[in-house]
Amino acid sequence: MPSEFDLIRQYFTRPTPSALLGVGDDAALLQVSPGMELAVSVDMLVEGRHFAPQDGPGTVGHKSLAVNLSDMAAMGAKPRWATLALALPAADEKWLRGFAGGFFGLAGKFGVDLVGGDTTRGPLNICIQIMGEVPAGQALRRDGAKVGDEIWVSGALGTAALALAFRQGRVELEQMEAAACLPALYVPQPRVELGLSLRGIASAAIDVSDGLLADLGHILEQSGVGAEIHFEALPLHDVTRRHIGSLSPGSLPRAGERDADSLREAQVIVAKNCVLAGGDDYELCFAAPAARHAELLALAQKLALPLTCIGRIVSEAGLALLDGKGSLMPVAAKGFDHFA
């Protein structure tokens, strides 16, 4: 049986060129570059809540770091160091090998060093702290959106949530459709380069982890502004668009109104909710002055990442969701029901 220290040595001790001292002592030693602020964030992933017991360890390793990198992206910070606190039910080396593969695969891509952690026996639980650097005063905060700013999102919304709905049997996807959506759920790509490029351009930013309405809502609240969003402008994966397309135009049914819906319509509602209130997108939602519009389109080209303007910041508080005719679509007060 390998000891705790054997496991740490074998699976979690790698060179740490960005640290003065990495794994192996009582604490790591880090040096923040001159003129930089340290951005720090932590995220916990619990088996059964954030991932399923049958999920592959490589994807769990990838995703647990990806969600943290996404927070760095949303701050405009360059990720540099991470710590990993791990509770494991058993010293399952096959699982550890897979997990470490997924974790370090992504860490290597962004030059992040694992500099320490803690390993203990217990129900599977993964807690990663990420640390990054951002030039003093340049972090992309949630509280900087200004009236007249345009609101943008990267990538596509709702793909991961649609994949999860498929996994849970709430929506039917053809095999090809499922194959196209599942990577968004299992191996999300954090928008780190976008976050770095938005320094000096975006007035506010957040990563979309709990659904567009909830997360944009945080920007609005903290900036003391409101927003007008055009539902038809929202960037969707082709599969999501196909599943939403057949909903009769007009209102979004609210929770409780679905009893009379046909199964087909219920599935369309699930898809629509995925876009507005589904979790796990890990795209960036940001506000930027309208004068930066062309620059942002050029940035999308450069990064080969779609950036879509979905609306604008207004002075009236709250989030107004508009349909293709410019009519207000109802938004349930507490966000959308997942019909879980």
Binding residues vs Mg ion (CB under 5 A): 118
By beta-carbon proximity to Mg ion, the closer residue of 36 and 87 is 87
Instruction: Kindly give the pairing relationship between strand 125-135 and strand 150-154.
Output: unpaired
By beta-carbon proximity to ligand ADP, the closer residue of 112 and 271 is 112
Instruction: Find the shortest distance in angstroms from Cβ 10 to Mg ion.
Output: 17
Among 6, 10, 20, 24, binds ligand ADP (CB under 6 A): 24
Instruction: Find the shortest distance in angstroms from Cβ 67 to ligand ADP.
Output: 17
Please report whether residue 116 would count as binding ligand ADP according to CB under 6 A: yes
Please report whether residue 117 would count as binding ligand ADP according to CB under 6 A: yes
Tokens of 27: 């604490």
> Of the candidates 203, 210, 163, 168, which has an alpha carbon nearest to the alpha carbon of residue 182?
163
> Of the candidates 234, 102, 237, which has an alpha carbon nearest to the alpha carbon of residue 179?
237
Among 17, 26, 48, 263, binds ligand ADP (CB under 6 A): 26
By beta-carbon proximity to Mg ion, the closer residue of 118 and 172 is 118
Classify residue 190 as exposed, middle or buried by CB count within 10 Å of its CB (0-12, 13-18, 19+): buried
By beta-carbon proximity to ligand ADP, the closer residue of 23 and 153 is 23
Nearby residues of 22 by Cβ (< 8 Å), 6 or more positions away:
13, 15, 16, 28, 113, 114, 115, 116
Instruction: Find the shortest distance in angstroms from Cβ 197 to ligand ADP.
Output: 31
226-230 β-sheet, strand order = 204-208, 283-288, 150-154, 307-314, 226-230, 318-322, 328-329
Helices 57-75 and 93-109: crossing angle, nearest 10°?
30
Instruction: Find the shortest distance in angstroms from Cβ 130 to ligand ADP.
Output: 13
Instruction: Find the shortest distance in angstroms from Cβ 105 to ligand ADP.
Output: 16
Instruction: Find the shortest distance in angstroms from Cβ 26 to Mg ion.
Output: 8
Please report whether residue 23 would count as binding ligand ADP according to CB under 6 A: yes
At 84, give phi and psi (nearest 5°).
Answer: -135, 115
Span interacting with ligand ADP, options 43-51, 117-125, 134-142, 234-242, rule CB under 6 A: 117-125
> Of the candidates 99, 27, 74, which has an alpha carbon nearest to the alpha carbon of residue 205?
74
Please report whether residue 86 would count as binding ligand ADP according to CB under 6 A: yes
Span interacting with ligand ADP, options 113-121, 188-196, 278-286, 323-331, rule CB under 6 A: 113-121
**What gap in Å lies between CA 229 and CA 20, rounded to an integer?**
47
- Half-sphere exposure of residue 193: CA atoms within 13 angstroms, side-chain side: 12
12 binds, among Mg ion, ligand ADP, none (CB under 5 to 8 A by kind): ligand ADP
Please report whether residue 25 would count as binding ligand ADP according to CB under 6 A: yes
Question: Chain-centre distance of CA 279, in angstroms?
Answer: 8
Tokens of 184: 């968004």
Per CB under 6 A, residues contacting ligand ADP are 8, 12, 23-26, 84, 86, 114, 116-119
